[in-house]
């Protein structure tokens, strides 16, 4: 996803105001920003997340700015892009990852990205909670301890963060690339792919946020890998007669 550009961002990409904001975050100073919550008016109870709040979140990175995005998250949170094992657990890193996209125009070297939510599921969690595996690594993973732990450590990250609501959204992502995408021949091309984001909320703030997107489709459009072979559909040995 677009977070991969974060390592390319330097001070030269930031305005003086954005550098000041980054300094305030590092200093732990309170920031004046929206909390990303939906309410029905003064004195009303907070509404649960819904389709519109999901669209607001996914478009905030590009339409509202990184300062706005910070308000959607609790102080303790986990943000993860599973495809590239990119993990964020602090608001400083979250700001660094997305500030470069603030009001980025069509000439931005980081490209132009548009997201559209198509479905949303969610609601209060009630008594239902995620269950974390316990005990040592199963014996049948012997010899693969490093791989097991490498993935398990990310999966377990944030498992102790309590939540009172959950949300699951499916979206499509259109990216117009002005430069190559981490060694992949993307400059001058537009890719469209789909993805999902699962979020857990506490008092309306995001405590867990994990995204998974179809990298295979992305790479196919860049000509890196071939389309999937679906010859199994016409396997003569399995055709009914």
Q: Give residue 103's pLDDT.
A: 59
pLDDT per position as a tens digit, 63-110: 888 888 899 999 999 999 999 888 999 999 998 888 877 756 788 888
200 beta partners: 166, 208
- Strand stretches in the chain, DSSP E: 73-81, 86-88, 112-124, 165-176, 190-202, 205-213
Decide: helix, strand or coil at residue 167. Answer: strand
Low-confidence ranges of the chain (pLDDT < 50): 38-44
Give the 3-state secondary structure of residue 12. Answer: helix
The length of the chain, given as a count of residues: 241
In 3D, which of 75, 54, 66, 76 has the Cα closest to residue 22? 66
pTM: predicted TM-score of the whole model, two decimal places: 0.82
pLDDT reported for residue 100: 75
Residue whose token pair is 């009630």: 126
What does the alpha-carbon distance between residue 198 and residue 209 come to, in Å, rounded to a whole number?
6
Query: Torsions phi, psi of 48, nearest 5?
Result: -75, 160
Q: Cα dist. 162→65, 133, 201, 235 in Å? A: 27, 17, 8, 49
For residue 205, give both structure tokens.
């703030």
Closest to 197 in 3D by CA, of 138, 117, 97: 117
pLDDT tens digits, one per residue of 24-37: 777 777 665 555 55
Q: Which residues contact 162 (CB under 8 A, 6 or more apart)?
A: 202, 207
Integer Cα distance of 79 and 101 in angstroms: 18
Looking up tokens 């991969």, which residue turns up? Answer: 4
Q: How far, CA to CA in Å, does 56 sit from each of 74, 202, 233? A: 17, 18, 40
Q: Dihedral through CA 86, CA 92, CA 95, CA 100, nearest 10?
A: -90
- Helix (H/G/I), strand (E/B), else coil: 219: helix
Domains and CATH numbers, the chain: 2-35+50-125+161-228 (3.10.450.50)
Instruction: Report d(CA 47, CA 23) in Å as an integer.
Output: 33
| pLDDT reported for residue 173 | 94
């Amino acid at each position: 996803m677009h977070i991969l550009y974060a390592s390319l961002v330097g001070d030269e990409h930031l305005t003086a105001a954005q550098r000041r904001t980054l300094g305030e975050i590092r200093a732990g100073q309170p920031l004046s920003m929206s909390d990303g919550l939906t309410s029905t008016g003064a004195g009303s109870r907070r509404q649960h997340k819904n389709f519109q709040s999901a669209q607001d979140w996914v478009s905030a990175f590009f339409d509202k700015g990184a300062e706005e995005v910070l308000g959607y998250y609790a102080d303790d949170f986990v943000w993860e892009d599973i495809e590239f094992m990119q993990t964020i657990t602090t608001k400083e890193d979250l700001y660094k990852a997305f500030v470069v996209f603030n009001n980025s125009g069509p000439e931005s070297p980081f490209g132009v990205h548009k997201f559209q939510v198509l479905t949303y599921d969610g609601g209060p969690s009630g008594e239902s909670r995620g269950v974390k595996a316990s005990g040592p690594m199963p014996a049948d993973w012997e010899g693969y301890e490093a791989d097991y732990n490498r993935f398990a450590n990310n999966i377990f990250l944030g498992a102790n963060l309590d939540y009172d609501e959950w949300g699951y959204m499916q979206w499509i992502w259109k990216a117009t690339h002005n430069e190559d995408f981490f060694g992949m021949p993307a400059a001058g091309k537009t890719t469209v792919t789909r993805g999902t984001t699962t979020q857990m909320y506490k008092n309306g703030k995001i405590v867990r946020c994990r995204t998974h997107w179809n990298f295979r489709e992305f790479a196919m459009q860049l000509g890196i890998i071939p389309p999937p072979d679906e010859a199994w559909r016409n396997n003569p040995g399995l055709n009914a007669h």
